[in-house]
Amino acid sequence: MSYTAAELDSYLEFAIHLAKLAGPIILEGFNGRFSAERSALLVKKGNTADLVTEWDQKVEKLVRAEIAEKMKDHSFIGEETAAAGEAFELTDAPTWIVDPIDGTTNFVHGFPHVAISIGLTINQEPVVGVIYNPILNHLFTAAKGQGAYLSKIDENPREQGKRLPLSYPHPAPPLPSLSTALVAGEYGSDRQSEVIDPKVKSMRNLSARDSSSLAPGRAVGHAHGIRCLGSATMNMMAVAQGQFDVYWEVGCWEWDVCAGIVIVREAGGIVVDGCGRQVNDGQLLTGRRFLVIRGCCGDDGDTSAEASLKAQMKIVEEVWSIVEDLELPRK
């Protein structure tokens, strides 16, 4: 289906409205987490590394109800309804894809990298993204073709916020190789050996200096450093701001990345398959493998879109040559 810039604007404003509704609930849970019994606060999904709280459920219920009332012809995909066993499928219809609290483990432990992620796809393409961290009062917003912004929740993003990346209006700095990059990655909640072992190996090789112990033809990255924020949305927003250079992860779902994809792209970055496949947006969203590269200029300082993409794809190819080819199920 087609849409206008004005319609995208209205969808973006609605997503910001949803973030404003959800923020106080998340903040209440974060600040009051020590007043509740820990056993009552956590609802296990059968995996002690994969948590859900009553606050996740409250936020998703509120957001879903608001979408059902205001956007009656739109579809909805949410982390907690999916976790509860509700079937979902990404179609070409306008679809709101929501993670009510990304970084639930951070939330439980009081680590402030926590956010609601609200994305909208049309024709399976992410076109609107809003990510709000109420603990730090960081609101990230973007709509396709309209730029990405960081503001506070009570500010007009385009009038009072900061354009992303944070280097703006100066060109984003070059990114010659992984050896000059700050790389983000996560171990994730799936700790089965067939998943965690190749992830650990990939992170080791991204940071290692010596390839002598590797199989012939395998490379190492010797990255400046490896960081983990415990939240896909917060890792992606660090890339959008230009704080992280690269983010690689296998195991995320569409609600973890949908909003972030829009914001990263509008900040000059790219998001591709994490392990080397050529995919369209629908396949990217549902593939559970993601590689995010920040905006940059060419190695010679060329700021053209062609030079930027060439420099980014050079990093992509370098990462693909290093990481393990992981395939995670949709179930």
Which one of 86-90, 180-184, 322-326 scores highest in mean pLDDT? Answer: 180-184
From residue 208, how far is each of 203, 219, 221 by CA, in Å? Answer: 8, 9, 6
User: Of the candidates 299, 302, 243, 250, which has an alpha carbon nearest to the alpha carbon of residue 267?
Assistant: 243
Given a cut of 90, whether residue 27 has pLDDT beyond it is yes
Report the length, in residues, of the chain.
Answer: 331
Euclidean distance between CA atoms 46 and 49, whole angstroms: 9
Euclidean distance between CA atoms 171 and 267, whole angstroms: 11
Tell whether domain 178-320 is in CATH 3.40.50.10490. no
The answer to whether the Cα torsion of 75, 81, 82, 87 is positive or negative is negative
Model-wide pTM > 0.85 = yes
Sequence spans of domains, the chain:
5-163, 178-320
Q: What percent of the chain has pLDDT over 70?
A: 91
Euclidean distance between CA atoms 30 and 45, whole angstroms: 20
152-173, pLDDT tens digit by residue? 999 999 999 999 999 999 999 9
213: confidence class by pLDDT, cuts 50, 70, 90: low
Q: DSSP label at 118?
A: E
Structure confidence at residue 44 (pLDDT): 47
**C-alpha 255 chain-centroid distance:** 8
> What does 145-213 look like in DSSP terms, one character per residue?
TS-EEEE-TTS-HHHHSEESSTTTTSPPPP---GGG-EEEE---S---HHHHHHHHHHHHHHH-S--TT
79-119, pLDDT tens digit by residue? 988 877 787 899 999 999 999 999 999 998 999 999 999 99
Catalytic residues: 79, 99, 101-102, 104, 256
Pairing of strands 148-151, 138-143: antiparallel
Q: Which CATH number fits domain 5-163: 3.30.540.10, 3.50.50.60, 3.40.630.40, 3.40.50.720?
A: 3.30.540.10
User: Of the candidates 239, 255, 237, which has an alpha carbon nearest to the alpha carbon of residue 104?
Assistant: 255
Given a cut of 90, whether residue 34 has pLDDT beyond it is no
Euclidean distance between CA atoms 239 and 260, whole angstroms: 10
66 and 16 in contact (C-beta within 8 Å)?
no
Structure confidence at residue 195 (pLDDT): 84
